[in-house]
Amino acid sequence: MWTSFESEFKDILERLNQNLKKLYTSRIHPDLVSGIPVSAYGAEMKLNELANINVPSARTLEIKPYDISLLSEIEKAIKKNKPEFSPIVQSDYIRISLLPPTEETRKRSVKEAKEFLEKAKVSLRVARKDFQTKIKKDGHPEDLEKKYMNELDSKVKDMNAQLDNLFTLKEKELMTI
């Protein structure tokens, strides 16, 4: 009975985790650029579908396209979507060297993280409401319905704590110099 609700929560948690990975911290990560849309072959494709993204050092990303002719398109997409990055085109790859984030950048990232957290919590509330409706529609006896509602509230409380914990860890990472 709970599997669909728990599955929906796992999706919410994974979506939050993916969104938080995209935030610029003091540690560089390929997810900072992997989802950038690039115009290629007459369509929009994600950067990670068009190139290999490596982290050769703590502050450097290297993006090596599978097709060298896409270098300029990838560079344009990075400049458009991540204006704080300065991509440098080498012979067959793009190098991005990042400075440590400023206090302002870190605060902006924490604010974005809070927005991602709030969206996740709203999604969880919607899922909870849908599940409450399902419990009521199933026509269970009143005592069993009350038991299910209490279980649901307990699960939602635990899930909210997991979301908050994920945010707290990311906030700590973002504010670390």
Cα dihedral sign, 144-145-146-150: positive
What is the domain class of 3-20+102-175 according to CATH?
mainly alpha
* Distance, CA of 50 to CA of 72 (rounded, Å): 13
Using the 8-state DSSP alphabet, how is residue 58 labeled? T
| Residue 148 backbone dihedrals phi, psi, to 5 degrees | -60, -40
What's the whole-number mean pLDDT along residues 37-58?
Answer: 93
Whole-model pTM? 0.72
Please check the confidence at residue 26 and state whether its pLDDT lies above 80. no
What's the whole-number mean pLDDT along residues 167-174?
Answer: 90
Question: Which residues are CB-contacts of 148 (< 8 A; sequence separation ≥ 6)?
Answer: 1, 135, 140
154: pLDDT confidence band, cut at 50, 70 and 90?
very high
Check if CATH label 3.10.180.10 holds for domain 28-97. no
Using the 8-state DSSP alphabet, how is residue 66 labeled? S
| Residue 94 backbone dihedrals phi, psi, to 5 degrees | -115, 135
Considering the chain, tell me which residue range(s) the CATH 1.10.132.20 domain(s) occupy.
Answer: 3-20+102-175
Q: Answer yes or no: are the C-beta atoms of 116 and 17 closer than 8 Å.
A: no
130: pLDDT confidence band, cut at 50, 70 and 90?
very high
Considering the chain, tell me which residue range(s) the CATH 3.30.1360.40 domain(s) occupy.
Answer: 28-97
